[in-house]
């Protein structure tokens, strides 16, 4: 049962155990709720012919039933609500931890809005189902067969009069299940699309205003929202149709029970109290079936939400063993990689040695940044091998690998915290003096000291209050602070002026001592003194050497140098 619930709803092992507790308490509650009917039918003879005995018995059993009802209601509340809220919190943490450990390429396939909606909206929907539907539906699965046997033992005709119409109710749900699931999926997808479009409008508000697209964007969004509401209405219509048809059988059930009951009374095949018990049973089972139908439909409704949660939880992690790396040469042997069907690297081989600067150059889109992502295992390569300390990095745990690599990518991500905290991410154990020194080495002090709050300045969402160059220098300061033996730099000078680029270059000269440095830059001047320059073109390595060698032996490198000089001489 536990494994079934984990597989079916994507809950944790503890969550599944709590659901089982909820099922048990809901089953007991159903049983206590039906206890008047059961008692009437079991004690009908005594209640009819022994008045004194009946009065004392009824009072005693009533008190016991009320006491049990109170206890079971408390049990059900604890198992259905308190534990459910704890499980939803644990589930969000579990999903967040899983996302934290997934490789970067996973996020290139997924929309970030979709992932955030899974953590918040999907878990919330599952939370509601856990507290209001799952336990009660499963408890009903166990309770109805029990009641079926009990009613059949009393009177077969009355039992069938109650059971057959209610069975038809649930049959209706099964018949229309697929239609309902399709309608729910369509509405689920359209809600996701709504979130994506709204986030896109918020993120691109400067472009929308700048190109005078307000009216066009507003009309497009309104039209889409109208379409969304139509899809919502269609999905609700499918539910209304199922519920209406299902409820029809519940009213038919009462009519059939009364018809059969009158016939049995006329033929004197059942006593009055026994008959009353069956009529009460029909009403209570009708009420339980009404509630169960809604709860089953809720399980249909959360089907897509649960799929999204399970999709993340079942995503494969990058495996590896913790190693204490001692040598930091990075060796690539016949490395190939594709984005889907598009091949971007084909049998790339070179060695980036420790205590040297290895620069990667080539036309835009040739795969330079991809190589850096493969080396840092943000992506896993398709073919060949990448080794550090003579070990295949696919066999090294990401924790061991990331401990030894500092990365500064072209697209800088900052948290909406202070500059101090954003730099401290490089080394959470660093003291204030170390953080200030890292900022100084990365040429950050110049602009930080001009800010009213200095290091305590809140940078805004993704550093919105800072310029592109300032954001990049903070990212570089993180790398200085981490001081890892492998340093990866991707277009660190793209948002820096010449003066700041020179200062950063001077700082790097201190940083690279005894380190493996792999750098990408479109500004050839910033890497012309690199120990090794790897020229990549058309998915392959065209040439490897220093600046002088490549000027004479690589057409691609000579072209890049000429283009770089032209760009530096161009004045606005």
More confident residue, 428 or 491: 428
Q: What DSSP element (H or E) covers 428?
A: none
Q: What DSSP element (H or E) covers 48?
A: helix 44-49
C-alpha dihedral, 290 to 291 to 296 to 298, nearest 10°: 120
Please give the Cα distance from 345 to 348 (Å, whole number): 7
The answer to whether the beta carbons of residues 210 and 234 sit under 8 Å apart is no
> Does residue 569 register a pLDDT over 60?
no
Please give the Cα distance from 122 to 114 (Å, whole number): 10
Please give the Cα distance from 124 to 127 (Å, whole number): 5
- Candidates 515, 309, 272, 559; CA nearest to 404 is 515
Contacts of 36 (CB under 8 A, 6+ apart): 65, 280
pLDDT value of residue 52: 54
pLDDT value of residue 421: 94
> Does residue 63 register a pLDDT over 80?
no
Q: 3-class SS at 375?
A: helix
Question: Are β-strands 330-339 and 342-352 bridged in parallel, bridged antiparallel, or unpaired?
Answer: antiparallel
More confident residue, 184 or 38: 184
Please give the Cα distance from 17 to 426 (Å, whole number): 40
The answer to whether the beta carbons of residues 272 and 266 sit under 8 Å apart is no
Please give the Cα distance from 423 to 447 (Å, whole number): 14
Beta bridge partners of 489: 408, 519
pLDDT band (50, 70, 90) for residue 493: low
Beta bridge partners of 321: 396
Q: Mean pLDDT in the chain?
A: 83
| Strands of the sheet with 330-339, listed across from one edge | 342-352, 330-339, 383-388, 391-392
Q: 3-class SS at 555?
A: helix
pLDDT value of residue 387: 95
| Rounded alpha-carbon distances, angstroms, from residue 489 to 159, 252, 362 | 77, 75, 15
- Residue 523 class from Cβ within 10 Å (0-12 exposed, 13-18 middle, 19+ buried)? middle
Contacts of 28 (CB under 8 A, 6+ apart): 68, 72, 75
Please give the Cα distance from 154 to 147 (Å, whole number): 11
Q: What is the pLDDT of residues 43-62, one digit of tens each?
A: 655 555 555 555 566 667 66
| Strands of the sheet with 405-408, listed across from one edge | 405-408, 486-490, 516-520, 356-361, 532-537, 540-545
pLDDT value of residue 572: 43
* Percentage of the residues of the chain whose pLDDT score is greater than 90: 19
Please give the Cα distance from 87 to 494 (Å, whole number): 46
Place of tokens 């709504």: 194
pLDDT band (50, 70, 90) for residue 571: very low
Exposure of 85 in the CB half-sphere (CA atoms within 13 A): 4
- Residue 540 class from Cβ within 10 Å (0-12 exposed, 13-18 middle, 19+ buried)? middle
> Does residue 10 register a pLDDT over 70?
yes
3-state secondary structure 26-38: HHHHHHHHCHHHH
More confident residue, 67 or 120: 120
């Amino acid at each position: 049962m536990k494994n079934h619930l984990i597989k079916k709803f994507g809950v944790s092992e503890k969550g599944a155990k709590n659901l089982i507790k909820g099922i048990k308490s809901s089953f007991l509650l159903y049983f206590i709720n039906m206890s008047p009917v059961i008692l009437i039918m079991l004690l009908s003879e005594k209640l009819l012919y022994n008045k004194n005995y009946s009065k004392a018995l009824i009072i005693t059993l009533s008190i016991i039933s009320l006491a049990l009802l109170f206890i079971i209601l408390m049990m059900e509340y604890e198992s259905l609500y308190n534990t459910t809220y704890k499980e939803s919190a644990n589930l969000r943490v579990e999903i967040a931890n899983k996302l934290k450990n997934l490789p970067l390429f996973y996020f290139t396939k997924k929309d970030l809005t979709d992932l955030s909606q899974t953590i918040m909206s999907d878990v919330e929907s599952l939370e509601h189902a856990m507290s209001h539907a799952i336990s009660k539906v499963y408890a009903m699965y166990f309770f109805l067969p029990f009641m079926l046997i009990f009613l059949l033992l009393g009177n077969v005709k009355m039992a069938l009069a109650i059971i057959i119409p209610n069975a038809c109710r649930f049959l209706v749900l099964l018949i229309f299940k697929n239609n309902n699931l399709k309608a729910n999926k369509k509405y689920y997808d359209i809600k996701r699309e709504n979130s994506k479009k709204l986030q896109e409008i918020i993120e691109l508000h400067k472009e929308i205003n700048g190109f005078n697209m307000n009216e066009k964007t507003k009309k497009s969004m309104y039209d889409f929202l109208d379409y969304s509401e139509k899809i919502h209405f269609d999905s609700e219509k499918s539910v209304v149709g199922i519920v209406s048809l299902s409820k029809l059988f519940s009213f038919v059930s009462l009519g059939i029970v009364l018809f059969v009951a009158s016939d049995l009374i006329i033929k004197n095949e059942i006593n009055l109290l026994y008959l009353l018990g069956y009529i009460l049973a029909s009403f209570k089972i009708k009420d339980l079936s009404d509630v169960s139908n809604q709860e089953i439909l809720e399980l249909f409704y959360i089907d897509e939400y649960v799929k999204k949660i399970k999709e993340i939880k079942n995503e494969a992690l990058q495996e590896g063993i913790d190693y204490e790396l001692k040598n930091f040469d990075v060796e690539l042997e016949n490395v190939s990689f594709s984005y889907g069907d598009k091949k971007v690297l084909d049998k790339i081989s070179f060695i980036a040695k420790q205590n040297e600067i290895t620069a990667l150059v080539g036309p835009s889109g040739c795969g330079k940044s991809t190589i850096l992502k493969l080396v840092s295992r943000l992506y896993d390569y398709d073919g060949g091998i990448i080794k550090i300390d003579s070990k295949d990095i696919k066999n090294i745990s990401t924790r061991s690998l990331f401990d030894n690599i500092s990365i500064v990518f072209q697209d800088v991500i900052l948290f909406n915290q202070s500059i101090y905290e954003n730099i401290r991410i490089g080394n959470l154990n660093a003291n204030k003096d170390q953080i200030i020194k890292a900022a100084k080495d990365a040429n950050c002090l110049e602009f930080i000291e001009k800010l009213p709050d200095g290091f305590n300045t809140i940078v805004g969402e993704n550093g919105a209050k800072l310029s592109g160059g300032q954001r990049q220098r903070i990212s570089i300061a993180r790398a200085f602070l981490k001081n890892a033996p492998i340093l990866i730099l991707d277009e660190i000078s793209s948002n820096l002026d010449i003066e700041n680029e020179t200062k950063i270059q001077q700082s790097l000269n201190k940083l690279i001592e005894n380190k493996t440095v792999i750098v990408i830059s479109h500004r050839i001047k910033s890497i012309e003194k690199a120990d090794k320059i790897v020229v990549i073109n058309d998915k392959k390595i065209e040439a490897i050497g220093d600046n002088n060698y490549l000027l004479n032996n690589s057409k691609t490198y000579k072209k890049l140098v000429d283009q770089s000089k032209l760009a530096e001489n161009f004045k606005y």
